[in-house]
Amino acid sequence: MSIVESEKLTDSEPDQIPVVPSAPMANGDSIPTAFDPVQLRAGRLERLRAMMAEQGYAALVLFDPNNQRYATGSRNMFGYFLRNSTRYVYVPLEGPIILFEYPGSAHISTWLETIDESRTSKVVWSAVNQRDNLSSDPFGVEIAELVQEHGHGNKKVGLDRCALNLARSLEAQGLDVYDCMQDTLHCRRIKTPEEIACLAQSMAASEASVAEVEAAIKPGVTENELFAIMYGEVIRGGGEFIETRLLNSGPRTNPWFHEASDRKIRPGELVALDTDTIGCHGYYSDFSRTFHVGPGRPSAYQRELYRMAHDQVHHNMGILKPGMTYREIAEQAWKIPERFLDRRYPSIIHGVGMHGETPLVAHHMDFDRFSSDGVLEPGMVVSVESYIGEVGGADGVKLEEEVLITDTGIAKLSRYPFNDTLLGREF
């Protein structure tokens, strides 16, 4: 395989792929339009090992599927391993990376240049089969042997997520065990050019799916039917899955976070959605839109809500710049009118990568409860959130944009148009 244009590629593509062009909608002056999957993986692993050196880790043992993919590009039965601590990856600061795989599936990942060896997991269905007491010791012994071989006397090992018995088994072998989840997420906050290209391509596919949803909105269609269209288009566009089911209509737009149901939408209502799409090479597309159901024009109240949400998103995008602290963002953010405060969205911005990531910047009144301070840096990708709805109100409006932090400000990754009718821009 030479150059592949707009193919539905995954991390499991075994052929040599020098360049994968981005989808046409992802093109932009400040956004890379092509990426090399090998360089994608190499750049991430370099950042991960730089973090390990800085924090003094001899090795990481990664159970979280997102961290496994970040370190190696390998994935397998993603949803299953989110809830079962079976599959893990040993990443030493120096030495071979070893994948401990589910039985019979080593062939899925052994072609990857990031994986030096594959072994069968020691903890397959351990808790399900009530074998925790039998599997933890072999797990601990094997990891301890690897650390002794490659750690040069350093015994600091990071675990991102696993069963308590496994952590204790490592400690029983004399290793110093630390929770490395915050360290790995902090490492992932800055995106490489290849990651940004993945995010742009994922966004293009997600926008295409939303266009199909918008075209299908009419009285009588159900929320689930619209969600099925969005999900199907995401898969057809090379995506992997949608992380949430946030698509709702009419009175279910207020409060937010109702999941898609079998409710039939009616004339004059609003339909709101959040994409939350896992697309190109596992990267997240996260933008939100709200639509009006015809025939007829939206009410003055609906237009008021939409205008406020639109103003909130654009004001908050406008203040973002590198070097700005998270607390400064919270303090300078668009001020939500008092009657909408009770149903404010939890964050002003949040990081985007393989899922919702670091940072999460809450509103000023919530900052000390939900956020810690930090600094915006070039290479971060964040979603800018808005939800406007009030207690007792008939409607709510959800809008959201995804942007790249640049050396001078931002570059938009989301490009789906806003609703002219709800903005009062009828021509």
- Give the tens place of pLDDT for each residue, 283-304: 999 999 999 999 999 999 999 9
Distances, alpha carbon 368 to alpha carbons 163, 360, 361, 365, in Å: 30, 12, 10, 8
Confidence band of 272 (pLDDT split at 50, 70, 90):
very high
As a dihedral over the C-alpha atoms of residue 245, residue 251, residue 255, residue 256, rounded to 10 degrees, the angle is: 20
Confidence band of 34 (pLDDT split at 50, 70, 90):
low
Confidence band of 22 (pLDDT split at 50, 70, 90):
very low
DSSP letter at 246 equals -
The more confident residue out of 78 and 32 is 78
Beta pairing partners, 361: 349
What is the model's pLDDT at position 126?
61
**Neighbour-count burial of 133, counting CB atoms closer than 10 A to its CB (0-12 exposed, 13-18 middle, 19+ buried):** exposed
pLDDT tens-digit profile of 299-354? 999 999 999 999 999 999 999 999 999 999 999 999 999 999 999 999 999 999 99
Confidence band of 134 (pLDDT split at 50, 70, 90):
confident
The percent of residues in the chain predicted with pLDDT above 90, rounded, is 80
What is the model's pLDDT at position 167?
93
360-373 average pLDDT score:
96
Residue 20: half-sphere exposure toward Cβ, Cα within 13 Å: 27
Beta pairing partners, 19: 3
- Contact at 8 Å (CB) between 31 and 15? no
Confidence band of 79 (pLDDT split at 50, 70, 90):
confident
Distance linking the first and last C-alpha atoms of the chain: 49
Q: What kind and span of H or E run contains 98? A: strand 98-101
pLDDT tens-digit profile of 167-225? 999 999 999 999 999 999 999 999 999 999 999 999 999 999 999 999 999 999 999 99
Distances, alpha carbon 32 to alpha carbons 22, 24, 198, in Å: 8, 12, 9
Distance CA 241, CA 231 (A): 7
Q: Helix axis angle, 37-55 relative to 193-216, nearest 10°?
A: 120
Q: Helix axis angle, 37-55 relative to 65-72, nearest 10°?
A: 110
Distance CA 125, CA 184 (A): 26
The more confident residue out of 205 and 22 is 205
255-275 average pLDDT score:
98
Dihedral sign, Cα of residue 336, residue 339, residue 341, residue 343: negative
What is the model's pLDDT at position 426?
66
Residue 125: half-sphere exposure toward Cβ, Cα within 13 Å: 3
What is the model's pLDDT at position 10?
40
- Residue 92 has which token pair? 């030493």
Secondary structure percentages of the chain, helix, strand, coil, to 5: 35, 20, 45
Domains defined along the chain, listed by start: 37-187 (3.40.350.10), 193-412 (3.90.230.10)
The more confident residue out of 19 and 71 is 71
The 3-class secondary structure across 13-39, one letter per residue, is: CCCCCCEEECCHHHCECCECCEECHHH
Across the chain, which distance is largest between two alpha carbons, in Å?
73
Residue 19: half-sphere exposure toward Cβ, Cα within 13 Å: 8
Characterize the bridge pairing of strands 156-159 and 176-179.
Answer: parallel
